[in-house]
Amino acid sequence: MGTDSAGMDIFSRVIYAPRIDLTIALLGTLISAMIGSILGAITGFYEGGRTWRKFSSALVMRSADVLQAFPVFVFAIALVAVFGQGVSSVIAAIAFVNTPIYLRLMRSQVLSIRKMRYVEAAYVAGSPDISIIMRHVIPNALPPVLSQLSVNIGWSVLLTAGLSFVGAGVVAPLPEWGSMISMGYQNIVTGQWWPSIFPGLALGVTVFGFSLIGSSIEILSDPARRRVLAGTVS
């Protein structure tokens, strides 16, 4: 793969970069999924109530609307500017911008699951609300969240690379695909294409792989589609 303009080996940096990109994407996405799923389960479970819980649920949803009103990339740059440039700042930015996605996804699932007979039976049996949410509601609402999780990990890798490309992400010379593309794209017109093409190919293959994993999880979590797939294979 050659070397870049600073004489650094492209191959070793492309191989090392996933340690940075995937760590940021995995941690940021998992944090957002955990926070968003818990908030979505609570807001969905208490939707339509007549107490202060209804007001709290509406307040959380309106806050999510405000967050999603801003362009994601611009919002992430603003968060990195506030927290300072670095790996932890990118993780915090990814977790912050992804939380409303899982909040809405979990809430939509809980709105239908809370009407199921087993939830009503647990409520009649005297189980507290927190126990019903954690033992009956959230586990049955997880499959779509897990499918979205894989897709968002790939998207977070792209966001990390994008932030580093514009100089707002990982600090150079730490190996990262976005910063490598940023360092090499200016030399493409002079014929030196390899410093940016190879990191770009690695980035594209990684994002495509996570999208395939998300599709597989969606199929495997649906019993009807799983039976159809098994019949087709057999």
Q: Where are the domains of the chain?
A: 10-233
List the CATH code of the domain at 10-233.
1.10.3720.10
200: its two tokens: 């770009």
Identify the band that residue 223 occupies on the pLDDT scale cut at 50, 70 and 90.
Answer: low
152-185 pLDDT per residue, tens = 888 888 888 888 888 777 777 778 888 888 877 7
**Average pLDDT in the chain:** 80
What is the pLDDT, as a whole number, of residue 98? 87
50-91 pLDDT per residue, tens = 667 777 777 888 888 888 777 878 878 888 878 777 788 888
Is a pLDDT exceeding 70 seen at residue 148? yes
What is the pLDDT, as a whole number, of residue 48? 67
Mean of the pLDDT values across residues 180-199? 79
Residue 5's Cβ-side half-sphere holds a number of Cα atoms within 13 Å equal to: 15
Q: How far apart are CA 21 and CA 136, in angstroms?
A: 35
> Position of tokens 């999924």?
33
**Quick count: other Cβ atoms within 10 Å of Cβ 193?**
15
Identify the band that residue 105 occupies on the pLDDT scale cut at 50, 70 and 90.
Answer: confident
Under 8 Å CB-to-CB from 218, ≥6 apart: which residues? Answer: 143, 144, 147, 225
